[in-house]
Structure 1
Amino acid sequence: MVTTEIKKISNCRKELNIVMAKADIEPIREKEILKVRKSVQFPGFRKGKAPLAMIKKSYGQHIEAYTMESAVQDALEKAVTENEIHIVGMPDAKKVDFNDDGDLTMTIEVDTYPDVELKNYKGFEFIKDKYVIEDSFVEENINRLRKQHATKTEAKGKVKDGQIVVIDMQELDQSGAPLKGKKYNDITISIGEGRFDPELEKQIIGLEKDKPTKISKEYPKDYAQKEMAGKKENYEITVKKIETETLPEVNDEFVKKVNPNAKNVEDFREQVSKSIQHDYEKEAENRFSQELSQKLIEENSFDVPDVLVENYLDNVIKDVKQRDPKADENSLREYYRTDSLANMKWHYIKEQVGKDENITVEDKDVEEFLEKIENEEIRKIYKENEAALNEVKHSIKDRKVHDFLVENSKIKENEVKLD
């Protein structure tokens, strides 16, 4: 018989005071005695036939150590099973001993999944951007596509605004001598686009190919970067190539090249507009979701076991290291720790909202999800793979909880014109 008294240390840590009756311990002890008896041989006795008293005398310490270890494991397993406690990480045994009656008593602290008691998660006010896409903004985006498909021809003469130049750039010291390690070759600049330093760009206009020219840049005394304030940088510029860019006309030929699904120029413009609208709405939705999660985390304080945060971090770091094997793991762990803790808390908040509001995933929800998958093979994988199907159910429930929180928030739209 195992009895358990549970004390709550925090919302994710519990103290278990467990007592295992002597009657339940004796079978464990006897089992180990017989196990030892079968494996040892004493002089004058066949293997496995030595008297039990001799076994206990010679191997008593080993038997008692095993008995206690096995009994503790059995008692803890029964305690957590009977009381539906979900342990994370390793249990921390604070006290283990036999009392005068021969019962095994133990005090063990364990980390558990957080007990989340939500105080506030409805009625919060948020401002969400609503974008109005002006025709001029659509044209600007179309012009970017035109530039991607532009034709370039080498130009003669001096550099003009709107041209593309390729330069070599050597930084000089105050005496005009080249600075070692400060030469930059094959820099491509689109004159007038505003991506290059405007003060230097003005001095490149009017230069000729293959004629080294000295230019400079002076920083004001009140410049934000104090180490550069009041200083002057000197360069020698050599223009290696000058190109003129010719943008294609927006006609049916251009449309078919850029977007074969567009029926004509008008349809193409409409699709570009819808694409912009979709991208900005998605961005606004992501910002809102971030604000929503931050607000609910602030309003509902609880702890998450370190081991869960560390496990989450392990997966984050694994993903980053796959992209950048040279990344320092300790630096990554420190950088992502705060976000990882927030993500874990947001996960448990949504899980608790689902429980409190009886939000469930019905068969029809899964069927609707699967019907949207056009590829029959992929749909079949989901249907036949239980793990994949559980992921789908989790995703659906997550979306349902999110929608519930949105419906129970006070959202004011802020109109933003993109022109």
Structure 2
Amino acid sequence: METVCNKLEKCMMEVKVTFTTEEWKNAQEKALEKLAKNVKIDGFRQGKAPMKMVKSRVGKAAILEEATDVVLKKSYAAILLDNNIQPVGQPQVQIDELTEDVLKVTVTAPVAPEVTLGQYKGLEVKKGTVKVTKKEIEAELANYQNQFAELIIKEEGTVENGDTAVIDFEGFKDGVAFEGGKAENHSLEIGSGSFIPGFEEQVIGMKVGEEKEINVTFPEEYQSAELAGQEAVFKVKVHEIKTKVLPDIDDELAKDVNIDGIETLADLETYTKEQIKNKKQT
């Protein structure tokens, strides 16, 4: 894994990551093994079909998506630590290049601003006691838990809030398709707020294979002047529904976080407490 760290404006740090071929291939193998557990193929018990048949059934896009999740979960903490980044908010990950041979991503993280000190010599300041509450530690552990959540294919039912729907969509304004409004096999986490207001809510209740027209109004401040404030119709088809399964907050999660010296939940709690304490003292 190679990383290049850059400082952006407005208290943001950017890390461009290129994974080695070995890391990326291993992640794809693990992703295929993971997906195979949920694939049903006639003539074979679930999870026992030959990998070649499983690969053909789930498709390249699903394998690469799952592999990306696998490799990022493994390397996420190391990327931040190796580049001396202590985020003060949730980092964002953008896929820059994704093929069977190459994975390049950009991690953008909000950090504390640099402060120019004024006159401080000779001043006496009483140092207050920094307290870290159990609730604060639990909140950070919940963040780790969410980072290592697994997406499991939902065999039955409809899209619910919190699910990830794999969809095709195409947007139309006045009956004409507009540029940038089309995608295939796009993974959309319902409730993430990453789409136009009103879009995700209308996907809720859809079934696999169902097609639907979704009516939305673009925000007035939308980046495209041609679409800002305009009504549009999206034709949507659901291919797959995945539900998020959170891991237990235990020793295994502590190991998955992949921080040097962290082997147990107690270790992770101590580390988390110190991180919170350090942030409060800065």
TM-score normalised per structure 1: 0.32
Q: Which has the larger radius of gyration?
A: 1
Normalized per residue, the structure richer in helix is 1
